Amino acid sequence: MEVSQRAPGRWQIATVTEVKRETPRVKSFRLVLPMWMPHLPGQHYDVRLTAPDGYRAQRSYSVASSPLEKGTVELTIDRLADGEVSPYFHDVVEVGDQVEVRGPFASYFVWRGESPVLLVGGGSGVVPLMAMLRHRRLTHDHGQMRLIYSVRHADDVIFAGEIDGDATLTFTRDAPPGWAGHTGHIDAGMFTAADHSDGTVFICGSNGFVEAAADLAMTAGFDPARIRTERFGPTG
């Protein structure tokens, strides 16, 4: 395969090889790519759907997997009830289906091995942060990485079994029965307790979440030059 064929800007047809339900609203899709190239944790792919009449819809989805999983990427998609593309993935796409993708993209919201690192995710904003956590584990990197993760409901925790020990969770609407941890919005105390303010912070989620978290990071003493943000949606 020629290197030029693997340019991130080229559309390619990926095959879905696994579909995994993560939460009632979130599914992960493993794609095998004919022109796969290694991504940096934090990068995303564009996905394009084409209707029989030629109408097209395109959206971006972060890679949840480590680049050490060669030939594949995992996309983790939150189903928005009134959305165009995310309900299609949830309700229509099955193992064996083909989808058009191009990537990987982004050069700013990427983890290149810095330490210490604080990850701050709201809802599906945890997806690119998971790629960072997974890659750190697979490379046996001993750098410090801590996740602050905000979800609404008890059953909204994506990657629940994988983040134990690395994450501080908060539930903004309803927590699991017997929950003794944080509830309500992320706050200054969570940033202070994470104690990584001499490092880099990656913040990802809705616009409102990212703005609130970036303010908290600045208050906690993070150098503004080391506050990296990624916004997923138009509203909080």
Ligand X SMILES: Cc1cc2nc3c(=O)[nH]c(=O)nc-3n(C[C@H](O)[C@H](O)[C@H](O)COP(=O)(O)OP(=O)(O)OC[C@H]3O[C@@H](n4cnc5c(N)ncnc54)[C@H](O)[C@@H]3O)c2cc1C
- The CA distance from 46 to 169, in Å, is 29
Cα 42 from chain centre: 7
Beta carbon nearer to ligand X, 35 or 80? 80
In the complex, minimum distance from the CB of residue 20 to ligand X, in angstroms, rounded to a whole number: 14
Hey, is 38 helix, strand or coil?
coil
Of residues 84 and 223, the one with the C-beta less far from ligand X: 84
Closest separation between CB of residue 82 and ligand X, Å?
5
SS3 126: helix
Amino acid, res. 28 = S
Question: Which residue number, 125 or 199, has a Cβ lying nearer to ligand X?
Answer: 125
Q: Which is nearer to ligand X, 76 or 168 (CB)?
A: 76
Q: What residue ranges bind ligand X (CB under 6 A)?
A: 44, 59-62, 76-78, 80, 82-86, 124, 127, 206, 230, 232-235
Closest-CA residue to 63 (of 135, 143, 145, 155)? 135
Q: Which residues pair with 27 in a beta bridge?
A: 21, 77
Distance (Å, whole) CA 47 – CA 58: 6
Question: Residue 139 CB, nearest distance to ligand X (Å)?
Answer: 22
**Smallest distance from ligand X to CB 149, Å:** 14
Which C-beta is closer to ligand X: that of 56 or that of 112? 56
- Tell the smallest beta-carbon distance from residue 111 to ligand X (Å): 15
Which secondary-structure segment (H or E) carries 129?
Answer: helix 126-138
SS3 per residue for 39-90: CCCCCEEEEEEECCCCCEEEEEEEECCCCCCCCEEEEEEECCCCCCHHHHHH
Nearer to ligand X, 148 or 220 (CB): 148
The label of the residue with tokens 């604080």 reads: 118
CB of 92 to ligand X, least distance (A): 12
